[in-house]
Amino acid sequence: MESSEKNKSKQNNQTKPAAGAAAVAASIASVAHAAGTGKIKVGLLGCGGRGNGAIRQNLQSDPGIEVIALADLFENKVRQTRDRLERDKKFEGRIKISNENCFSGFDCHERLAQCDADLLCMATAPAFRGRQMLAAIKAGKSVFTEKPVATDPTGCREVMEAAKIADEKGLGIVCGTQRRHEFGRIELMKRIHDGAIGELVGGQCYWYGGGIWFRGHREGWSELEWQCNNWYHFNWLSGDQICEQHIHNIDVMNWCFNGPPKKISANGGRAWRTYNEDQIKKAKEVCRKFNNGSEEAWEKYNGDIWDHIFAEFEYANGARCLSFSGHSPGTGRGGEKIVGTKGTSNCSNSYSGQSSWKYEGKNVNGQQQEHDDLVASIRAGKPLNEGQRIAESTLTAIGARMSAYTGKTLTWDQLLNSKSDLVPKDLKAGPGIFNPIATGRDKFV
């Protein structure tokens, strides 16, 4: 009996490399099929505003793009997106979405990953992007994903795993941090990395604005479905405003230093959101819908994210960069600045100091160019893979939030090994997931 079990185990182990090789071969064959001037079949996951924008940019990147599948938590969003795409004369003959390739529900990403697409565009809530990307890559699809790609370290590790598998399978991953695809910034960063402003000793980055949408209730939705549609206001779904928006500026800081910081310290809080009258009015309306007309405990529907976070990122050479992000009425500041021993730069198109330079070449729309670059790389048989990099920038933003929520200075190794896992594995229509507002003294996990 023991000998039989050993033989069976040996046979199973011998078949695994063959199965893995077959999967890699199938993925490479898919990339090869999309190379040259052939058709590239594309599916969209997340049919909201950003998803609709992303799929149009993808269509505009190459005349050989055909959209064959759509998926979203909400069936009506899938129908609306298909109708809009089919009515758009610019894409006539290139929208080929059958009823069988329209998916909705909490498991829609799993079914989309099995469709006959070469490339998936993903624009769902940030909480789900790690597991969705991993499913797509394992199924042999290249990926365009919006940022950030996770709301906790566990999700970031899923993306890092997906990036490794993509390398093995010859698949592409490009993310929505479009500054990395703007020609002026690319040329500037080459010069900064070549020492144009000397050793980098510090910097600042900002994303501070007036506020964001807050969405009301719709008949027929469960509490969790409403929450997912109003995802920005809940930390487990959005990662807080520092992840959702400020990641652009943080990614530029990491670009300057060719990698993430070694240490993060942050603090912040929640003030304006607690007394924002318009938002409170809608939160109470939602509460009454789910609580038989009662407004008791309405506060949980008002969200739990903070409205300001200040952070300090310390990089490998000891340089420290300051970060400021958040929302409040009548405010606005965005952008980056990097300081070197020989000068400074706006991290966009120029530097000044001992010598000066300004980019005067062609300017492009970064959101369009990232799709152009991804599709061109697939055509060339050399797919871009930004998975590890976007996971690191996302984890940097998450690290600042976790530092602020806990009141602790955190190292990069602590973040990489954190057990924080905010997103339940199995989700279905039903009660929402409401967590207490962070105190600034929460336990680090």
Give the residue among 210, 224, 308 at the shortest CA–CA distance from 266.
308
Q: What does the pLDDT average to over 89-94?
A: 97
Q: What does the pLDDT average to over 312-334?
A: 94
Q: Same domain for 91 and 208?
A: no
Query: What per-residue confidence (pLDDT) applies to 34?
Result: 63
Q: Same domain for 16 and 165?
A: yes
State the average pLDDT for the chain: 92
Query: What per-residue confidence (pLDDT) applies to 14?
Result: 36
> Using CA atoms, how far apart are residues 145 and 45, in angstroms rounded to an integer?
9
Q: Same domain for 165 and 56?
A: yes
Q: Same domain for 201 and 169?
A: no
Least confident among 32-46, 75-89, 244-258: 32-46
Question: Does residue 433 lie within any of the structural domains?
Answer: no
Question: Does residue 428 lie within any of the structural domains?
Answer: no
Is residue 6 pLDDT above 60, yes or no?
A: no
Query: What per-residue confidence (pLDDT) applies to 211?
Result: 87
pLDDT tens digits, residue range 9-21? 333 333 333 344 4
Q: What does the pLDDT average to over 360-385?
A: 98
pLDDT tens digits, residue range 212-235? 999 998 999 999 999 999 999 999
Q: Same domain for 111 and 245?
A: no
Give the residue among 36, 32, 66 at the shortest CA–CA distance from 376.
36
Question: Does residue 439 lie within any of the structural domains?
Answer: no
Report residue 332's pLDDT band, with 50, 70 and 90 as the boundaries. Answer: confident
Q: Same domain for 160 and 37?
A: yes
Determine the residue type at 272. Answer: W
Query: What per-residue confidence (pLDDT) applies to 45?
Result: 98
Q: Do 192 and 341 form a contact (C-beta atoms < 8 A)? A: no
Coil, strand, or helix at residue 265?
strand
What are the CA-CA distances from residue 52 to residues 55, 151, 424 (Å)?
5, 23, 27
Determine the residue type at 393. Answer: S
Report residue 37's pLDDT band, with 50, 70 and 90 as the boundaries. Answer: low
Query: What per-residue confidence (pLDDT) applies to 313?
Result: 98
Q: Same domain for 43 and 81?
A: yes
Q: Do 154 and 126 form a contact (C-beta atoms < 8 A)? A: no
Query: What per-residue confidence (pLDDT) applies to 345?
Result: 98
Query: What per-residue confidence (pLDDT) applies to 35?
Result: 60
Q: What is the pTM of this model?
A: 0.92
Query: What per-residue confidence (pLDDT) applies to 329?
Result: 85
pLDDT tens digits, residue range 159-198? 999 999 999 999 999 999 999 999 999 999 999 999 999 9
Q: Same domain for 175 and 310?
A: no
Q: What are phi and psi of 400, to 5 degrees?
A: -65, -40
Q: Same domain for 53 and 9?
A: yes
Question: Does residue 430 lie within any of the structural domains?
Answer: no
pLDDT tens digits, residue range 249-281? 999 999 999 999 999 999 999 998 888 999 999
Q: Domain residues for 233?
A: 182-359+385-416
Question: Domain holding 26: CATH number?
Answer: 3.40.50.720
Is residue 25 pLDDT above 70, yes or no?
A: no
Report residue 31's pLDDT band, with 50, 70 and 90 as the boundaries. Answer: low
Question: Does residue 6 lie within any of the structural domains?
Answer: yes
pLDDT tens digits, residue range 104-137? 999 999 999 999 999 999 999 999 999 999 999 9
Question: Does residue 239 lie within any of the structural domains?
Answer: yes
Least confident among 144-153, 272-281, 332-341: 272-281
Q: Same domain for 213 and 293?
A: yes
Count of structural domains within the chain: 2
Q: Same domain for 212 and 317?
A: yes
